[in-house]
Amino acid sequence: MERTSIRLGGVDLHSTIMNASGPRSAERGEIYELSAVHAGALVFKSCNLAGLEAPENLKNRGVEHFAAIAGELTARGKQIIGSIVGTSEDEFITVARILDRAGVAILELNLADDYVANSVAPFASFERLKALIGGVRGAANGVLAVKLPPRSQFPPRALADLLKSMQVAIAVCQNDLPKDLEIDLATGSVKGKLRALSHAHAMYQESENLLDIVAVGGINNGRDAYLAHLSGAKGLQVGSALMKEGAGALGRIDRELDALLGEHGKRSVSEIIGRLTFTEA
């Protein structure tokens, strides 16, 4: 077992590091390149039913394009995370069903994008969110993940409870840790009082280990990864570094994380997940 391997939402992955949905994960060639250079899970760009030309950040060829690739890669043992957008509950359900049948291991509902907020408005009420997730849950067998916006009208505890009750296994949260965080990496000790340091950390604190947290945002090197794990994240998604540097960024960050774990005498990344402490109670 590699030091950075993990069980996420009940799925065994070779690494906690994976690409974030979007960058270099839309076209066949990009996806095959990501798959070839890194053994961790592969996250598809968000897709809807028929494909989109706009908005620019959600441009995609539609779910059948991704389903065909999922079929090929899962046959070779690759763990795929499919990401879903849509403008209606029915669209989410149909896309989820197609990806599920294609062998995708984890279905990530992208509820973080304005495109979804402005159409489905999943966070308009608890009933709306429940209906959307419940509809997908009823249509697909795969592990469910929800990518959350950094802010919603729901407090983290209420949101965590709702996700758990809907059998969502994974919450993908923002890794918005303060830039000037004073932390001793060797002990995982942060200066000051016990507090939520990021969206991901807040959701980790409120989910009592019944949800697995994936952190996304600002993970550019091994130290960023180490910190995000200390704050409770079991999985980490890399976006901008991948855009800037190419697919090799995933392996580099994985190796840097592995080296830091070794330096601090850890045999597995599991030994640091959620182990932040504070100098004041």
23: contact with ligand FMN by CB under 6 A: yes
231: contact with ligand FMN by CB under 6 A: no
238: contact with ligand FMN by CB under 6 A: yes
CB 219 → ligand FMN: shortest distance, Å?
6
15: contact with ligand FMN by CB under 6 A: no
Alpha-carbon distance 278 to 164, whole Å? Answer: 27
Are the C-beta atoms of residues 132 and 120 closer than 8 Å to each other?
A: yes
Of 4, 11, 22, 247, the residue at the interface with ligand FMN (CB under 6 A) is 22
Q: Are strands 189-193 and 277-280 parallel, antiparallel or unpaired?
A: parallel
218: contact with ligand FMN by CB under 6 A: yes
CB 277 → ligand FMN: shortest distance, Å?
26
CB 81 → ligand FMN: shortest distance, Å?
10
CB 55 → ligand FMN: shortest distance, Å?
10
Q: Name residues contacting ligand FMN, limited to 79-98 (CB under 6 A).
A: 83
Of 16, 35, 46, 48, the residue at the interface with ligand FMN (CB under 6 A) is 46
Q: How many residues interact with ligand FMN (rule CB under 6 A)? A: 20
49: contact with ligand FMN by CB under 6 A: no
Which region among 8-16, 69-77, 228-236, 237-245 touches ligand FMN (by CB under 6 A)?
237-245
Are the C-beta atoms of residues 19 and 34 closer than 8 Å to each other?
A: yes
Are the C-beta atoms of residues 47 and 66 closer than 8 Å to each other?
A: yes
Which region among 20-28, 64-72, 87-95, 97-105 touches ligand FMN (by CB under 6 A)?
20-28
CB 187 → ligand FMN: shortest distance, Å?
27
252: contact with ligand FMN by CB under 6 A: no
Of 12, 37, 50, 57, the residue at the interface with ligand FMN (CB under 6 A) is 57
- Which structure tokens are listed for 237? 């998604």
136 to 175: interface string for ligand FMN, x by CB under 6 A: -----------x----------------------------
CB 281 → ligand FMN: shortest distance, Å?
32
HEC secondary structure over the chain: CCCCCEEECCEEECCCEEECCCCCCCCHHHHHHHHHHCCCCEECCCECCCCECCCHHHCECCHHHHHHHHHHHHHCCCCEEEEECCCCHHHHHHHHHHHHHCCCCEEEEECCCHHHHCCCCCCCCHHHHHHHHHHHHHHCCCEEEEECCCCCCCCHHHHHHHHHHCCCCEEEEECCCCCCCCEECCCCEEEEECCCCCHHHHHHHHHCCCCEEEEECCCCCHHHHHHHHHCCEEEEEECHHHHHHCCHHHHHHHHHHHHHHHHCCCCCHHHCCCCCEEEEC
Residues that bind ligand FMN (CB under 6 A): 20-23, 45-46, 57-58, 83, 110, 112, 147, 216-219, 238-240, 243
